[in-house]
Copies of this chain bind each other. A is one copy, B any other.
Amino acid sequence: MLGEIKGLNEECGVFALWGHKEAAQLSYYGLHSLQHRGQEGAGIVVSDEEHLHIHKGLGLVNDAFKEGDLEALEGHASLGHVRYATAGGGGLDNCQPLMFRSQTDSLAIAHNGNLVNAHNLKLELEDQGSIFQSTSDTEVIAHLIKRSVYPRMEDKLSDALSMVEGAYALAVMTEGKLLIAQDPHGLRPLSIGKLGGAYVVASETCAFDVIGAEYEREVQPGEIITFDRNGMRSELYATPAERRMCSMEYVYFSRPDSNIDQINVHTARKNLGKKLAAEAPIEADIVTGVPDSSISAAIGYAEEAGIPYEMGMIKNRYVGRTFIQPSQELREQGVKMKLSPVRGVVEGKRVVMVDDSIVRGTTSRRIVTMLKQAGAAEVHVRISSPPITHPCFYGIDTSTKSELIAATHSLEEMREEMGADSLSFISIDGMLDGIGRQDKDSNCGQCLACFTGNYPTDIYEDTLHPHDKVING
């Protein structure tokens, strides 16, 4: 159950638009629909062809933008970002888009993903006199663009990206152009849509639905797309490798109403639940899922297993930023925060509890305990992703290997640790089948690095010990 209880959302969201007079307004709604991808800060930059105007703020899109902020952002093109950040990650400085102004023009840049050679590039750039204001990878790309000797922005960007390695779904804006790019493995989702004559780009397709735009296609691995007065142009800046779409986008990260590479996320999750039921059946009275991200998988499990799906837990919708935390004493007395068991549902029942993933195992243990205290006779844990045994260097915050319970414990040890009556994970093949990317054209691979340790890119020494790295875009 990555992200849900921990309150962490491990990535960022990008939303860009070209050719609509209400670019800022639409970006606001678009970013809003990507809010689950980052709740620490939001920013929008617009171009009115002569200048870039920017507004950024901390917190939710709602908090970062107030009545009047949007009015000030007049322009026909926009680039927006919602940001995930670890604690203490430098406040507004690290908020994106980053904006760089020169005497002649300006450049705004935002991205989702994580570079693996940023540290090395920074050292080199600093040797050449560059100075950095943020700790964001994104600033490295900006410096590389600025130092490129090519005159055309497309070529500058291509030049810059040829030097970076990692995962990125990237957008760059100047007064006259909007450019977007995907890393050669296509590790992060980025889709293109149309809204009348305007172009829209978003990390997830749910942003299209919210503003009434039509889906067009995915940005391809290694592709740079340029929007300007002459419309949209595509070029490849790198030989695309086989696509390695992040599995976790399907498993728990994206919104259920998004389609990632044309596969609906809710449907994929429900199918993961069905596969899981087929692979790991159990006799039980009810199936329940950890809200919100595991509900679809739980319903799939229930359907396949022929066991009723019930609301065994409920998530508190109102636990906001200013929520006063209970003291340790009250917490021990049983004050619950984000998740409550439904005693009337689980009492005396044999419960299948479906969760999307296990990282450190602490959350699962807490939920099992909570269900048993609420009277569950048995709790059978079913996980709709394979065991996570390796850290992710591409933007998912699964921290270091030593903290991953599946990297250090056997299945039985894990079961015991969390106090479950049984525990099963879906198999890698089951997951691939469930999501169903293989059924599509050839370029449909998934990144499985966190399950297998086979990373699609090189991994650098100091990525492995990321002592001074605080921010993933």
- Are B102 and A93 in contact, CB atoms less than 8 angstroms apart? no
A316 interface residue, CB < 8 Å from B? Answer: yes
- Are A326 and B25 in contact, CB atoms less than 8 angstroms apart? yes
- Are B336 and A212 in contact, CB atoms less than 8 angstroms apart? yes
- Are B130 and A130 in contact, CB atoms less than 8 angstroms apart? yes
Q: How many copies does the complex hold?
A: 4
Determine, out of A238-246, A259-267, A397-405, the stretch whose residues face the partner at the interface. A259-267
A53 CB → nearest B CB, Å: 9
Q: For A311, list chain B residues within 8 Å (CB).
A: 256-257, 266, 295-296
Q: For A134, list chain B residues within 8 Å (CB).
A: 101
User: Chain A interface secondary structure, helix, strand, loop or mixed?
Assistant: mixed
A400 CB → nearest B CB, Å: 21
Closest B residue to A147 using CB positions:
B129
Chain A 297-335, CB within 8 Å of chain B: the 1/0 string?
Answer: 001000100001111001011111111101101100111
- Are B335 and A26 in contact, CB atoms less than 8 angstroms apart? yes
Closest B residue to A53 using CB positions:
B88
Known: A131-B146, A326-B29, A343-B209. A309 touches B299 (CB 8 A): yes
- Are A336 and B270 in contact, CB atoms less than 8 angstroms apart? no
Q: For A147, list chain B residues within 8 Å (CB).
A: 129
A204 CB → nearest B CB, Å: 12
- Are B100 and A324 in contact, CB atoms less than 8 angstroms apart? no
- Are A468 and B32 in contact, CB atoms less than 8 angstroms apart? no
Complex CA gap A468/B51 in Å reads 11
Complex CA gap A135/B103 in Å reads 9
A465 interface residue, CB < 8 Å from B? Answer: no
Given A32-B316, A130-B146, A209-B343, 17 more A-B residue pairs with CB atoms under 8 Å apart are A25-B327, A29-B335, A60-B320, A93-B99, A101-B135, A102-B131, A107-B131, A126-B146, A128-B129, A129-B143, A131-B143, A206-B314, A212-B334, A256-B342, A266-B342, A267-B310, A296-B311
